[in-house]
Structure 1
């Protein structure tokens, strides 16, 4: 909070931001302006709602502070930028960006809001460092609807790969130390994203569909046809990183393609699950020759963004926002990402201080948050709760809402 306090025009806004961050770090089951204001001893949720909607501060400034904090803690020369999107289920049609669309979180088409996130991952740790809200054409083609949701006039339609390219370029322009980018099939299929990485001499390992066609010495071929041509002796067993049950061991095949990136090498990486026989495919580029183990390591880093989504939603309420406008969404997400990054950075620092104990697993973000709540937040919030005042205020608010609803129902159509 000392780092970001200068970003606020008034000290009251900085204090409210502190209350917000402590609220999303807390063990509250539901995190919204009401519950977090009650936890902080505020008489009403007005201060936190004002912070998200009308207070004078720029979420992009906090994003820069967040990125610097994460990179300073986890910086490595061969770190990886991981790109992915996630969806939050929402009701109604007023929340900015909401429509019926596919959500990977739900695994089906739902009424939801989708955003693209960028995370920074190295052997030291990983955390989210940037985000971009996806606006479907049903929104960008309706400027009156966008104006109602506070969407800036210069924001138009952009595909998810275009949003990802913007996030990656913004991080690289800020001097982020990273040599690789990885992502799923949505991003591996986009030629403009790959060209941008070629031009900037940044390597990538991007997943692609099995029907993707690549140039080879024998002419254009589908990647699944290439897999059929790989001899059994060409497969190499390597770990894609440690999982909850141990090393994620797969067999890997690596084939050079005939693409001309200008400088560097292009190839196709094939991953085989030896238990099920399932195959996964990646298009790869490296500015300089690298061994197979390096590409496997980069491919394995893609799972870190899923861990970020799981912990930031489960621990800090990334998906629990009840805001509708463009400004409020960007402010909510950046403060939640800041709180999550605090957990990730301090947990990683504590791991380096602990003496190795073979009887214990390493300290997790979940366990650190549990200790932080018990030892810091609970004593901090033990005094000053106004439970009875809040009960009265909440019942008055609900009564007003009930009367307004009944009045609308009673009016003639």
Structure 2
């Protein structure tokens, strides 16, 4: 909290924020303003609700300060920036950004909120450092809903790849030292890859089996057909990590492909259209430029085959210089760490349990959830370094770490009899008022 102390205008607001971060790590069934208010000993949820919706607090600056803290902890490590989205099921389109859309978290298309998250992943640390709420095009264009939810005027519709590029740019500007970017099929578009290259990063992005690439001879192939050119003896079995059941091993292969995302490619095409003199000389210069562009860095198609099922996954990769297959394998494998981070933040810090409806509330709830996750991630990294000197013990898992924090650091949840009885009465009274209001609203709508 000392890192973000300057983002608050009042001491009381800062103290409430510290209580909320601690409350997110307490042992409670669900995490929202009601349950956390009771666990923290508050007489009602109003203090936490005020913090999320109306308190004077620069949450954008606080997010940048946390990124700087993480950057300092990860300095000198080989960091991969991983992007992915996750969704939370909702019951009404009145929640900011809620609409019928696809989300893997809910297993298909449904009414949900979707947010794009950016994680910094190193060999020992994985932590989400930024997030962006995705506003569907119809939602972003609905002025009435935007006004009710408090969406700022400068926030408009942006695709998920555009949000990802914006977050990566911000993370690098804030101090994160990274060499690689990784994403799934959603983030394989040319515009995003060109932006990543202009930032000086290499990338590994998943692609569909029918995605078309260009081989060295200039011929277009679907990824699944081009990889058939690999002879059986050219597949290499490599270990990609350790699990509870042993090592994970896959068969890997790669082939050179032509890059199609050189940052200045469009500029060169426009210049070529405007220059009509000395056609022969220009054609020679253009050929040399294309050869240099294709030769700048390493552009490959990587395939990963499951050793038992034979299922093949495809990845388009680019690196600024020469790169080994083992390096690309490591970057591809680290992309899955963001899924583990989602499980951590949803299961232990309430990322998807906020029950908030407005822009400010969503931004602040997600931010405090990431605060708590940063506490866990950085503490786990520090303990991991110390556990190397403890033979016979594996590094503590996140559940073990939370048990440790609850036992020696975090305050116990308030559970005395009078406090529980007061909260039961408050909830029943509030629910009775809410029920009466809903019934009255329905009667008004039913009248001609």
Q: TM-score w.r.t. structure 2 length? A: 0.88
Alignment pair present for 1:264 and 2:297:
yes
Query: What is aligned with 2:368?
Result: 335
Could you tell me how far 1:222 is from its partner in structure 2?
1.1
Query: What is aligned with 1:193?
Result: 192
Question: Per-residue displacement from partner, 1:256-278 (whole Å, max 9, x unpaired)?
Answer: 11226333121111101110010
Query: What is aligned with 2:166?
Result: 166
Confirm or deny: 8 A CA contact 2:38 2:414 kept in the other structure. no
Query: What is aligned with 1:9?
Result: 9
Could you tell me how far 1:161 is from its partner in structure 2?
0.6
Q: Secondary structure at the match of 2:31?
A: coil
Distance 1:287 1:53, change over 3 A: same
1:385 and 1:308 map into 2 onto residues whose CA distance is 38
Distance 1:230 1:385, change over 3 A: farther
Could you tell me how far 1:147 is from its partner in structure 2?
1.2
Confirm or deny: 8 A CA contact 2:151 2:359 kept in the other structure. yes
Question: Per-residue displacement from partner, 1:300-343 (whole Å, max 9, x unpaired)?
Answer: 00111000000100011100011111111111101100101101
Query: What is aligned with 1:213?
Result: 212
Query: What is aligned with 2:383?
Result: 350
Query: What is aligned with 1:286?
Result: 319
Query: What is aligned with 1:147?
Result: 147
1:8-87 alignment, distance < 5 Å: 8-87=8-87
Question: Per-residue displacement from partner, 1:32-83 (whole Å, max 9, x unpaired)?
Answer: 0011111111111111000000001111112112212222223345310000
Query: What is aligned with 1:156?
Result: 156
2:89 and 2:243 map into 1 onto residues whose CA distance is 28
Could you tell me how far 1:107 is from its partner in structure 2?
2.0
Confirm or deny: 8 A CA contact 1:269 1:283 kept in the other structure. yes
- Of 368, 372, 389, the residue aligned with 2:405 is 372
Alignment pair present for 1:204 and 2:237:
no
Confirm or deny: 8 A CA contact 2:240 2:333 kept in the other structure. yes
Q: Secondary structure at the match of 1:3?
A: helix
2:203 and 2:388 map into 1 onto residues whose CA distance is 36
Gaps (5+ residues) in structure 1? none
Alignment pair present for 1:179 and 2:183:
no
Could you tell me how far 1:160 is from its partner in structure 2?
0.6
2:229 and 2:76 map into 1 onto residues whose CA distance is 37
Confirm or deny: 8 A CA contact 2:300 2:318 kept in the other structure. yes
Could you tell me how far 1:120 is from its partner in structure 2?
0.2
1:157 and 1:283 map into 2 onto residues whose CA distance is 27
Confirm or deny: 8 A CA contact 2:33 2:49 kept in the other structure. yes
Query: What is aligned with 1:394?
Result: 427
* Most deviating of 368-377 and 385-394: 385-394
Could you tell me how far 1:217 is from its partner in structure 2?
2.4
1:327 and 1:36 map into 2 onto residues whose CA distance is 19
1:348 and 1:200 map into 2 onto residues whose CA distance is 28
Gaps (5+ residues) in structure 2? 263-292
Confirm or deny: 8 A CA contact 2:209 2:223 kept in the other structure. yes
**How many residues get paired?**
412
Distance 1:201 1:257, change over 3 A: same
RMSD, aligned α-carbons: 1.9
1:107-146 alignment, distance < 5 Å: 107-146=107-146
2:313 and 2:70 map into 1 onto residues whose CA distance is 30
Q: Secondary structure at the match of 2:3?
A: coil
Confirm or deny: 8 A CA contact 1:38 1:385 kept in the other structure. no
1:344 and 1:384 map into 2 onto residues whose CA distance is 35
* Most deviating of 117-126 and 59-68: 59-68
1:410 and 1:161 map into 2 onto residues whose CA distance is 44
2:332 and 2:126 map into 1 onto residues whose CA distance is 15
Distance 1:380 1:45, change over 3 A: closer
Query: What is aligned with 1:231?
Result: 231
Confirm or deny: 8 A CA contact 2:41 2:413 kept in the other structure. no
Q: TM-score w.r.t. structure 1 length? A: 0.95
1:406 and 1:220 map into 2 onto residues whose CA distance is 62
2:118 and 2:412 map into 1 onto residues whose CA distance is 35
2:166 and 2:390 map into 1 onto residues whose CA distance is 43
Confirm or deny: 8 A CA contact 1:74 1:126 kept in the other structure. no
2:246 and 2:168 map into 1 onto residues whose CA distance is 31
